[in-house]
């Protein structure tokens, strides 16, 4: 059974795209069938995996609007996952969806076409709590929240959890929160550790381990269209995502529970 994981945090720069690309590659290494979805009009995931959004004739926005099926858009990237790429046209699609009935369900309906083809679907959500993020949450089994370990980063967690609560009420009652993934982590600082303690106690959220360390290796990988699992295989950042992938598979597919 496919497990759909929305990677969301309305604050930018917290490694959502890095997490989707790296965790997707780690799951493929473990023999899983993986679909990655770029749901951000900035198209960072698409670019990071070696595609130029400006060269694409079709992308995820046409799938969401019902103009084409997923098969017409899917691309297999070098490290093994399939990708539903994005272009800047996704911003216009978001505006069009605002006037459509059932807009929060468009991604879930589109994914039904591929429900038997994958073990995991990972969605890279935009840094906002708008229509596209709500559609991702409505389609997901679980939410993974990458969190940079600094005070300003965790202030938005409560807002995201409010949105999750609303999505549960109106669109996806079984949506669960997998937990918070510490990213850009510097264990040498007491501030990083204090932020994690605050998140755990304030929001009663599971903190996933190991934390993903802060390193220039993550910034270098998109320049060659790959993840850190290929460009710096033995780095502890790559290993952190491998360990997370192993935990997800070892625990079994997350169930649709709150």
What's the predicted TM-score (pTM) here?
Answer: 0.92
CB 138 within 8 A of CB 108: yes
**pLDDT for position 257:** 34
Select from 131, 122, 134, 195 the least CA-distant residue to 160: 134
DSSP result, the chain: --EEEEE--SSSSSSHHHHHHHHHHHHHHTT--EEEEE--TT-HHHHHTT--GGG-S--HHHHHTTSS-GGGT-EE-TTS-EEE---THHHHHHHHHTTSTTGGGHHHHHHGGGTTT-SEEEEE--SSSSHHHHHHHHH-SEEEEEEESSHHHHTTHHHHHHHHHHHHHHT-TT-EEEEEEEESB-TT-HHHHHHHHHHHHHH--PBPSSPPBP-THHHHGGGGTS-HHHHSTTSHHHHHHHHHHHHHHHT-SPPS--
Q: Measured between alpha carbons, how far apart are the two ends of the chain, in Å?
A: 19
Edge to edge, the sheet with strand 82-84 lists 75-76, 82-84, 34-38, 120-124, 3-7, 142-148, 176-183
pLDDT for residue 189 is more than 90? no
- Distance, in Å, from the CA atom of 246 to the CA atom of 225, rounded to the nearest integer, reads 24
pLDDT for residue 220 is more than 90? no
**What is the mean pLDDT of the segment spanning 165-187?**
92
**What is the mean pLDDT of the segment spanning 99-119?**
91
CB atoms within 10 A of CB 78: 13
- Distance, in Å, from the CA atom of 250 to the CA atom of 197, rounded to the nearest integer, reads 26
Lowest mean pLDDT among 88-92, 234-238, 241-245: 234-238
pLDDT for residue 144 is more than 90? yes
CB 97 within 8 A of CB 136: no
**pLDDT for position 252:** 54
- Domains and their CATH numbers in the chain: 3-248 (3.40.50.300)
Strand-pair partners of 238: none
pLDDT for residue 254 is more than 50? no
**What is the mean pLDDT of the segment spanning 26-55?**
95
**pLDDT for position 186:** 78
pLDDT band at 39 (very low <50, low <70, confident <90, very high): very high
- Distance, in Å, from the CA atom of 21 to the CA atom of 19, rounded to the nearest integer, reads 6
Does residue 196 or residue 11 have the better pLDDT?
11
Relative to beta strand 3-7, strand 120-124 is parallel
CB 16 within 8 A of CB 8: yes
């Amino acid at each position: 059974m496919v497990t759909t994981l929305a990677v969301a945090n309305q604050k930018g720069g917290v490694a959502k795209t890095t997490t989707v690309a790296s965790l997707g590659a780690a799951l493929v290494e473990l023999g899983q069938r993986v679909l990655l979805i770029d749901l951000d009009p900035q198209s960072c995931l698409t670019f990071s995996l070696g595609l130029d959004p400006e060269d694409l004739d079709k992308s995820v926005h046409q799938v969401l609007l019902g103009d084409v099926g997923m098969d017409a858009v899917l691309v297999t990237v070098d490290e093994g996952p399939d990708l539903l790429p994005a272009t800047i046209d996704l911003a216009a699609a978001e505006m069009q969806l605002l006037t459509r009935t059932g807009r929060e369900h468009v991604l879930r309906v589109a994914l039904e076409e591929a429900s038997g083809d994958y073990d995991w679907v990972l969605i890279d959500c935009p840094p906002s709590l708008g229509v596209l993020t709500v559609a991702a949450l409505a389609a997901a089994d679980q939410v993974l929240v990458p969190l940079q370990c600094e005070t300003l980063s965790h202030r938005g967690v409560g807002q995201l959890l409010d949105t999750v609560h609303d999505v549960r009420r109106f669109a996806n009652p079984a949506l669960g929160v997998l937990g918070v993934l510490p990213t850009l982590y510097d264990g040498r600082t007491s501030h990083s550790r204090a932020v994690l303690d605050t998140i755990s106690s304030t929001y009663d959220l599971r903190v996933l381990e190991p934390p993903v360390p802060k390193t220039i290796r993550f910034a270098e990988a998109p320049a060659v269209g790959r993840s850190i699992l290929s460009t710096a295989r033995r780095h502890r950042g790559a290993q952190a995502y491998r360990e997370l992938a192993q935990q997800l598979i070892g625990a079994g597919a997350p169930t649709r529970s709150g």
